[in-house]
Structure 1
């Protein structure tokens, strides 16, 4: 499968995950529900993403990854079609949960295919491009959904997305690998055992903290903009998410950071430090400054993600599907909690305490990476 086709699939799949986010305040008003309940549209999708990828990683050691990817995209297209023709919040929520069960199959298929097909610097380059495609998909999904909702209703975007998913899925041409299909059965414990490495678990923990903070801020950004800065227009909120896109462009240069220093843990520690400082700086009550810090916050998150994903593959001795399945699980476990728990903090204590709570989580993630940096030179390059 050409990497360009895989990247297009990634972009459209991430439309599914993030499309509701900029419209959460609008959904809360439309369905007469609280911000925390509106946030469930993201939470119910991310909860399966927190636990299912390891299971899918085990499954994908036995099945063709491209077949799983194609069938999953067709199923996602059906879910989008149902959302596009319904007006009931409960059915909308149910479809989001089903999408959450399907999405980890697609994500683990794509990352597992990259980890299995390419090695060395080519792996880093293609994994970075993959991370960039997820960022582009997240941004475009938010921006297009908000604009479609303004002009034609949110249902129109879901129908449009269903068509894109179906077309790209039918273009996937699986390649059958007999060596994989005929591999001897190995117990799940044997597959998971290599993940017990302390350095790898600390890296996964840091990724959890990273995405917890990111999901929290992006999920409640519409409410922050509306309540703190009186920005209520969904189109304007969608354009403020442009900081997301700037971060995507910056993350493309992440592989060049290894030319400045061969200590990848040092790179991650520095990025976490800047990530933390942006959360601290957002306390200043200025919309333009908040947007600038939000943009830097996004850039740091994407660069951490683009550094950590290939590093996990280089560091792990487990099967590529298992390594990436565990990575996705830790990543979205943080995301699921980040879309829900901080909502109560924001509702009860306000923006300042909300940001401080995220700061502590972010600092703990930086501490985990710093521990890896101090363990010795053998971990510096991820091997």
Structure 2
């Protein structure tokens, strides 16, 4: 499978995951549910994403990842079509849960394919490109869904998405990818390399990073509505442009890392800036919020694009297992972050919401810096 084809597929797969976010206020109004309840459309999808990848990584350690990817995309196509036709909020939740079970199979297959087919500098480069495609998919999924809702209906976006996923799935030729033959091992043997303290700290740091990011992205429409008086779905969609600008800024990561002789020191610095952005957002000024939001997104992408290759570098486990564990910790943070902070926002308000995120972010900073000190003590 050409890398470009995989990256295009990744963009549309991430459409499925993130498209509901800018539509949450619409779902809340149309189905007469609270903000926290509408946020469950993201939580219920990320919950399986938090658990399933590690099992998929073990299950498919000796399987062809492209076969898995093709089947997953066909399921996502069908569920996207049904999502547009669902008459009740409960059915939306059921379909999102099915998508949550399917998405980790697709993500594990894509990262596993890259881990199997590339090594050394190519692995770092192509993993960064994959993360770039996930960023682009997250941005376009949110913006297009919001604009389709404004121009036409929110359902029209899902009709187009279902068709695109079907076409891309049919273009995949699994026989062209033969995974390396591995000696049969028990799940315990596969997971043993992931117990290394530095890897555990990295995964926990990733959990904290995405907890904060998922929370802010999930409740951004409600913050814009309640704090800044922005209610139009199209305008809310375009606010996510800060997400894309942040992604573009994060492309400087390879150049900035040259000034750091230690990956953990680099991650610690990023977490420090991440915390600073959350502090600045306490000011209820829209222009200040947008600048801090863009910086916040840039830091998240830089942490993500640095942590994922570092996990593959540190781990001796098979690529599908390593990346499955990484995705599990990543989305377990997302599952909790897309729901629990919503309860704080709903009960205590915007400033308490940001304070809760700051405490989690500081935990990520402590984990990264302690790993840096541990590694420095060995030298």
Q: Normalising by the residue count of structure 2, what TM-score does the alignment of the two structures yield?
A: 0.97
Q: Distance in 1 between matches of 2:194 and 2:142?
A: 34
Give 3-state SS (helix, strand or coil) of 1:39's partner. Answer: helix
| Structure 2 unaligned spans of 5+ | none
Deviation at 1:188, TM superposition (A): 0.7
Q: In the alignment, which residue of structure 1 is the partner of 2:115?
A: 115
Kept in 2, the 8 Å contact 1:22–1:142? The answer is yes
Q: In the alignment, which residue of structure 2 is the partner of 1:209?
A: 208
Q: In the alignment, which residue of structure 2 is the partner of 1:19?
A: 19
Provide Cα deviations, 1:222-259, integer angstroms capped at 9, x if missing partner: 00000011000000000000011112212222222332
Q: Distance in 2 between matches of 1:154 and 1:32?
A: 17
Kept in 1, the 8 Å contact 2:10–2:134? The answer is yes
Structure 1 residues 38 and 267, CA gap change in structure 2 (3 angstroms) = same
Q: In the alignment, which residue of structure 1 is the partner of 2:187?
A: 188
- Matching of residue 177 in structure 1 with residue 178 in structure 2: yes
Deviation at 1:272, TM superposition (A): 0.4
Provide Cα deviations, 1:292-348, integer angstroms capped at 9, x if missing partner: 110110000000000000000001111111100000000000000001000110111
Q: In the alignment, which residue of structure 2 is the partner of 1:239?
A: 238
Kept in 1, the 8 Å contact 2:79–2:95? The answer is yes
Q: In the alignment, which residue of structure 1 is the partner of 2:34?
A: 34
Give 3-state SS (helix, strand or coil) of 1:122's partner. Answer: helix
How many residues end up aligned between the 2 structures?
378
Q: In the alignment, which residue of structure 1 is the partner of 2:168?
A: 168
Q: Distance in 2 between matches of 1:304 and 1:274?
A: 11
- Matching of residue 141 in structure 1 with residue 138 in structure 2: no
Give 3-state SS (helix, strand or coil) of 1:69's partner. Answer: helix
- Matching of residue 306 in structure 1 with residue 305 in structure 2: yes
Is 80-89 or 23-32 further displaced after alignment?
80-89
Q: In the alignment, which residue of structure 1 is the partner of 2:283?
A: 284
Structure 1 residues 39 and 268, CA gap change in structure 2 (3 angstroms) = same
Q: In the alignment, which residue of structure 1 is the partner of 2:273?
A: 274
Provide Cα deviations, 1:255-288, integer angstroms capped at 9, x if missing partner: 2233222311111111100000000000111011
| Structure 1 unaligned spans of 5+ | none
Deviation at 1:23, TM superposition (A): 1.1
Q: Distance in 1 between matches of 2:95 and 2:152?
A: 21
Q: In the alignment, which residue of structure 1 is the partner of 2:84?
A: 84
Structure 1 residues 208 and 379, CA gap change in structure 2 (3 angstroms) = farther
- Matching of residue 339 in structure 1 with residue 338 in structure 2: yes
Is 256-265 or 195-204 further displaced after alignment?
256-265
- Matching of residue 44 in structure 1 with residue 44 in structure 2: yes
Is 327-336 or 153-162 further displaced after alignment?
153-162
Provide Cα deviations, 1:57-113, integer angstroms capped at 9, x if missing partner: 011212100110011101100101111222321111110000000000000111111
Q: In the alignment, which residue of structure 2 is the partner of 1:253?
A: 252
Deviation at 1:185, TM superposition (A): 2.7
Q: Distance in 1 between matches of 2:114 and 2:378?
A: 23
Q: Distance in 2 between matches of 1:205 and 1:18?
A: 23
Q: Distance in 1 between matches of 2:180 and 2:358?
A: 47
Kept in 1, the 8 Å contact 2:69–2:105? The answer is yes
Kept in 2, the 8 Å contact 1:129–1:252? The answer is no
How much is the aligned-residue C-alpha RMSD, in angstroms? 1.3
Q: Distance in 1 between matches of 2:10 and 2:156?
A: 21
Kept in 1, the 8 Å contact 2:214–2:337? The answer is yes
1:144-163 matches, within 5 Å, as 144-163=144-163
Give 3-state SS (helix, strand or coil) of 1:348's partner. Answer: helix
Structure 1 residues 93 and 261, CA gap change in structure 2 (3 angstroms) = same
Kept in 2, the 8 Å contact 1:373–1:379? The answer is no
